[in-house]
Amino acid sequence: KPLRLWGGRFEGAPSDALTRLSVSVQFDWRLAPYDLLASRAHARVLHRAGLLTQDELDRMLRALDDLDRACRSGEFRPTVADEDVHTALERGLLERLGSLGGKLRAGRSRNDQIATDLRLYLRDHVRTIVSRVVELETALINQAEQHADTPAPGMTHLQHAQPISFGHQLLAHVHALARDVDRFRDWDKRAAVCPLGSGALAGSSLPLDPAAVAAELGFDAPAPNSMDAVADRDFAAEFLFCAAMLGVHISRLGEEIVLWASQEFRWIEVDDAYATGSSIMPQKKNPDVAELARGKSGRLIGSLMSLLTTLKGLPLTYNRDLQEDKEPVFDAVDTLLLVLPAMAGMVATMRVNTARLEASAPDGFALATDLAELLVRRGVPFREAHEAVGHLVVYCQVNDKDFGDLTDEELAKVSPHFAADAAGLPEGTPSVRDVLSVRGALAARSAYGGTAPDRVREQVAALREIVDEQ
Ligand code: ARG
């Protein structure tokens, strides 16, 4: 007869349909190490409350250690008859201790246990996720350092806009990831509250010590309200938001890499170790890592929506709907731990086609703004300068020329402002040709936050410090 934690008041056995619907051990088993940690803390508290003798506590802790070992080695496994992780572990304890094993359940409920287990699991796994993010940040920073001086086309609307340092663009992704890490750190402050001691919903009549349990489990404080403690899943939803936001950032980076690796861009080549081929087209080399990163952001967003939808109509306190919190959370953790190392490896090993980037940086009249700003420095109102450069672009398009191909006569014909000897120019004022340099355009954007290579190198140093602290 399968062990159940709640048989006493029932005369009939549960139906197969109920059992199949109710069972969660197939996914909550991964909480076993955390449930055992919480059990050890609870056993100590029962002992201090005079509810376990010293000898009983010693035997209990030895049995919990042995069960932990047996779970890790695979020698103890949940069976289909175990409703959930708590049921399976109580069976393991009873197998080791006989009726003494039944004493551990005093003063706690699966409601405060599961809320505690999930917090412990997430706080632990968020640390791992953060170190994987740091690896991706580091890969991007290393590439950015290599390419602080590499001019590249900067885009808005996916159209050439202004030249930028390729390193500047790579670092833009690092700033987004650094905010994600910051969010996880900040999340942890609110997640560091311990529900154990709240019991089913109202606390316990036994003289437990929630503060001692919280401290032993590494939480900052015990939950101040037992009803909130068992009903609250903010920590899971907020984790899923942080995961989804990180997923979206990785997806946007992935999308750029897909573009950069295309024949049309040819900005980068993905290393063989991070590319895949085609079963029919022998020539293909596909950036699947970046595409999967982009694709998997969908599941992360879906997991957040799934949990929020589960929570939205629930009355206090615990409701069985809350069992649906775990799969989205686990899936988000698994997804990030798969995607992040692959992205870090791909970024670390990609080869950047610096010659092509530099050559295409001025394409699409990307220096037009620099020309307009030259006129502004000559005293022309920006509105007129904008107009004049616009006319110059049309002239070039009609005559199939680039800015650099224009003669002085042509420039002067489109607008007298472009003439080298425009009226009243002081000595040493730069000429049109002086500003038609991509490297000059980059160096000129030297204010804080700008794309000048010197500023990019400063950003590299600043971000390395930030990432070191993470
Ligand atoms: N498996 C349950 C969950 O994930 C554990 C708590 C069950 N509590 C209860 N009263 N049935 O939420």
- Do residues 91 and 136 both lie within one domain? no
- Give the pLDDT confidence score for residue 422 in this predicted structure: 62
Answer yes or no: is the C-beta of 84 below 6 A from any ligand 1 atom. Answer: yes
Let me know the angle formed at the C-alpha of 23 by 22 and 28, rounded to the nearest 5 degrees.
125
Is residue 460 included in any domain, yes or no? no
Residue to substitute in 34, 86, 114, 329 for testing ligand 1 pocket (most ligand atoms within 8 angstroms of CB): 114
Residue to substitute in 4, 10, 320 for testing ligand 1 pocket (most ligand atoms within 8 angstroms of CB): 320
Judge contact between 184 and 129, C-beta under 8 A. Answer: yes
Is residue 403 included in any domain, yes or no? yes
Active-site annotation, residues: 157, 278
**Distance from C-alpha of 372 to C-alpha of 8, rounded to nearest angstrom:** 84
Give 110 Cα–ligand 1 centroid separation in angstroms: 6
- By three-state DSSP, how is residue 159 classified? strand
* Cα–Cα distances in angstroms (integers) from residue 315 to residues 225, 311, 321, in the given order: 16, 9, 11
Give 367 Cα–ligand 1 centroid separation in angstroms: 63
Is residue 262 included in any domain, yes or no? yes
Residue to substitute in 84, 316, 321, 327 for testing ligand 1 pocket (most ligand atoms within 8 angstroms of CB): 84
Nearest-atom index, ligand 1, CA of 110: 6
Answer yes or no: is the C-beta of 322 below 6 A from any ligand 1 atom. Answer: yes
| Tokens encoding 440 | 């000059």
| Total tally of structural domains belonging to the chain | 3
**Distance from C-alpha of 89 to C-alpha of 112, rounded to nearest angstrom:** 16
- Do residues 328 and 391 both lie within one domain? no
The CATH code of the domain that includes 378 is 1.10.40.30
Beta bridge partners of 159: 156
Is residue 321 included in any domain, yes or no? yes
**Distance from C-alpha of 181 to C-alpha of 121, rounded to nearest angstrom:** 18
- Say how many CA atoms lie within 13 Å of 59 toward its Cβ: 17
Judge contact between 214 and 221, C-beta under 8 A. Answer: yes
Answer yes or no: is the C-beta of 310 below 6 A from any ligand 1 atom. Answer: no
Give 126 Cα–ligand 1 centroid separation in angstroms: 23
Answer yes or no: is the C-beta of 323 below 6 A from any ligand 1 atom. Answer: yes
- Do residues 175 and 300 both lie within one domain? yes
- Do residues 136 and 280 both lie within one domain? yes
282 phi-psi bin (left φ>0, alpha ψ -120 to 50, beta other): alpha
Atom 12, ligand 1: residue with shortest CA distance: 323
**Distance from C-alpha of 152 to C-alpha of 168, rounded to nearest angstrom:** 10
Give the residue numbers spanning the domain of 421. 368-436
Is residue 93 included in any domain, yes or no? yes
Where does residue 279 rank: exposed (0-12), middle (13-18), buried (19+ CB within 10 A)?
exposed
- By three-state DSSP, how is residue 151 classified? strand
| Tokens encoding 294 | 């982009």
Beta bridge partners of 162: 154
Atom 11, ligand 1: residue with shortest CA distance: 320
Nearest-atom index, ligand 1, CA of 200: 10
Beta bridge partners of 163: 153
**Distance from C-alpha of 418 to C-alpha of 392, rounded to nearest angstrom:** 10
**Distance from C-alpha of 132 to C-alpha of 341, rounded to nearest angstrom:** 6
Atom 4, ligand 1: residue with shortest CA distance: 323
| Tokens encoding 312 | 């939205």
pLDDT tens across the length of the chain (470 residues): 778 887 788 888 899 999 999 999 999 999 999 999 999 999 999 999 999 999 999 999 999 999 999 999 999 999 989 999 999 999 999 999 999 999 999 999 999 999 999 999 999 999 999 999 999 999 999 999 999 999 999 999 999 999 999 999 999 999 999 999 999 999 999 999 999 999 999 999 999 999 999 999 999 999 999 999 999 999 999 999 999 999 999 999 999 999 999 999 999 999 999 999 989 989 999 999 999 999 999 999 999 999 999 999 999 999 999 999 999 999 999 999 999 999 999 999 999 999 999 999 999 999 999 999 999 988 899 999 999 999 999 999 999 999 989 998 898 898 888 886 665 666 667 778 888 999 999 999 999 999 999 999 999 999 999 999 99
Residue 153, number of CB atoms within 10 A of its CB? 24
Where does residue 243 rank: exposed (0-12), middle (13-18), buried (19+ CB within 10 A)?
buried
**β-strands 193-194, 159-165 pairing:** unpaired
**For residue 451, is the peptide bond before it cis, meaning its omega torsion is within 30 degrees of 0?**
no
**Distance from C-alpha of 114 to C-alpha of 118, rounded to nearest angstrom:** 6
* Predicted TM-score of the model (pTM): 0.95
- Give the pLDDT confidence score for residue 131 in this predicted structure: 98
Judge contact between 44 and 52, C-beta under 8 A. Answer: no
Give 112 Cα–ligand 1 centroid separation in angstroms: 9
- Do residues 279 and 166 both lie within one domain? yes
- Do residues 174 and 248 both lie within one domain? yes
Is residue 123 included in any domain, yes or no? yes
**In terms of DSSP H, where are the helices of 83-109?**
85-97
- Do residues 354 and 403 both lie within one domain? no
Give 230 Cα–ligand 1 centroid separation in angstroms: 10
Which of the listed residues 79, 106, 133 is the one where a domain comes to its end? 106
Is residue 213 included in any domain, yes or no? no
- Do residues 351 and 232 both lie within one domain? yes
Buried/exposed 198-210: b ≥16 CB within 10 Å, e otherwise:
bbbbebbeeebbb
Is residue 174 included in any domain, yes or no? yes
What does the chain come to in residues?
470
Nearest-atom index, ligand 1, CA of 85: 1
Answer yes or no: is the C-beta of 31 below 6 A from any ligand 1 atom. Answer: no
| Tokens encoding 207 | 């003289």
- Give the pLDDT confidence score for residue 248 in this predicted structure: 98
- Do residues 138 and 96 both lie within one domain? no
End-to-end CA distance of the chain: 51
The CATH code of the domain that includes 23 is 1.10.275.10
- Give the pLDDT confidence score for residue 421 in this predicted structure: 65
**Distance from C-alpha of 252 to C-alpha of 290, rounded to nearest angstrom:** 9
**In terms of DSSP H, where are the helices of 261-287?**
none
Give 39 Cα–ligand 1 centroid separation in angstroms: 16
The CATH code of the domain that includes 228 is 1.20.200.10
DSSP state of 286: B
Give 114 Cα–ligand 1 centroid separation in angstroms: 7
* Cα–Cα distances in angstroms (integers) from residue 439 to residues 138, 151, 404, in the given order: 26, 7, 14
Virtual torsion, Cα 169, 170, 176, 179, nearest 10 deg: -120
- Do residues 96 and 47 both lie within one domain? yes
Beta bridge partners of 152: 164
CA 143 to chain centre: 20
Answer yes or no: is the C-beta of 170 below 6 A from any ligand 1 atom. Answer: no
- Do residues 331 and 387 both lie within one domain? no
- Do residues 309 and 414 both lie within one domain? no
Choose among 361, 132, 170: nearest CA to 265.
Answer: 361
Atom 7, ligand 1: residue with shortest CA distance: 110
